[in-house]
Amino acid sequence: MKSEVSETPYAGARLPLHVAVIMDGNGRWAKKRMLNRVKGHEKGADAVRMMIRTCREIGIRHLTLYAFSTENWQRPKTEVKALMELLKRFLASEKQEMIDNHIRINVIGELDRLPEDLVVSIKKAMDETADKNAMQLNLALSYGGRSEIAMACAEIARKVKNGEADIHAITPEYFERHLYTADIPDPDLLIRTGGEYRISNFLLWQIAYSELFITSTLWPDFSRKEFMEILSDYNRRERRFGRVDD
Ligand code: IPE
Ligand code: IPE
Ligand code: MG
């Protein structure tokens, strides 16, 4: 693995605790090369591996990757099927390295909409890495921020109805304990590749105060070098959270 000083955050750098990524641009990467969109997703898997290794190496505690949205179910059946198969192959090929590197695998999203064989692989990967604590990889699969919020509301309404919760106790802190991300800190940094200036239903609640970084680089071309540049940009930003700087 490369270790040039210029590609490693300098000592004392303020690292984000949680980096979230909207990995966009696989289809365009393939189109530019007159390839099938699926080839773009396959190439994108290399960038995923690079991100996991880099984050583990530099000490990012949480990495959340948006791999498939609730809206992505509307894509052609063949693309959806290829993506599900790719995800399964990715888990199979990368799991051992993640175990060796003490990475916990977690999946957020509507697991019950995924193909059964993929769900089996996911549950196995989550079980086998449940005690790992150097880093947590959160894969957002069949994930949608609006569904997540609606699901949390339904769960709280159920509790109120059963007398397990008091309406006056519904604070933001209480509410977020009902999200998929209950045990995960909010993202400090949200990166979107592929150049679109939108959120596409990703972590709507959780990104309230995340620093946003949009790059036109297509996901399969996203490099360790560019990630390091984004981290140094993050380092220079002043996060005020609505206060005035002192
Ligand atoms: C992102 O790449 C991957 C998924 C949404 C699964 P796209 O497939 O959206 O690529 P573009 O945006 O068409 O280039
Ligand atoms: C966002 O990309 C979802 C993922 C990266 C998984 P999309 O390509 O689906 O987003 P839109 O359609 O451009 O908003
Ligand atoms: Mg896209």
Q: For residue 196, give the ligand 1 atom closest to its CA.
A: 12
Closest residue CA from atom 8 of ligand 1: 27
Rounded to whole angstroms, the Cα distance separating 139 from 20 reads 10
Q: What is the pLDDT of residue 139?
A: 98
Cβ atoms 129, 103 nearer than 8 A: yes
Rounded to whole angstroms, the Cα distance separating 11 from 170 reads 41
Q: What is the pLDDT of residue 4?
A: 41
Mean pLDDT by 10 residues, the chain (246 residues): 47 88 98 98 98 98 98 98 98 98 98 98 98 98 98 98 96 98 98 98 98 98 98 94 87
Q: What is the pLDDT of residue 180?
A: 98
Q: What is the pLDDT of residue 7?
A: 53
Residues that place a CB less than 5 A from ion ligand 3 = 24
Rounded to whole angstroms, the Cα distance separating 143 from 14 reads 29
Q: What is the pLDDT of residue 8?
A: 60
Q: What is the pLDDT of residue 5?
A: 40
Q: What is the pLDDT of residue 168?
A: 96
Q: What is the pLDDT of residue 12?
A: 67
Tokens in use for 245?
Answer: 């700087």
Active-site choice (26, 72, 106, 138)? 72
Of the ligands numbered here, which is closest to the C-alpha atom of 22? Answer: 2
pTM: 0.95
C-beta of 143 in contact with ligand 2 (< 6 A): no
Known catalytic residue at 72: yes
Known catalytic residue at 235: no
Q: Which CATH architecture has domain 18-144+186-236?
A: 3-Layer(aba) Sandwich (3.40)
Of the ligands numbered here, which is closest to the C-alpha atom of 37? Answer: 1
User: What per-residue string of b and e applies to 75-102 under the rule 16 or more CB within 10 Å gives b?
Assistant: beeeeeebbbebbbebbeebbeebeeee
**Strand, coil or helix: what is 27?**
helix
Q: What is the pLDDT of residue 2?
A: 38
Q: What is the pLDDT of residue 245?
A: 80
Q: What is the pLDDT of residue 9?
A: 60
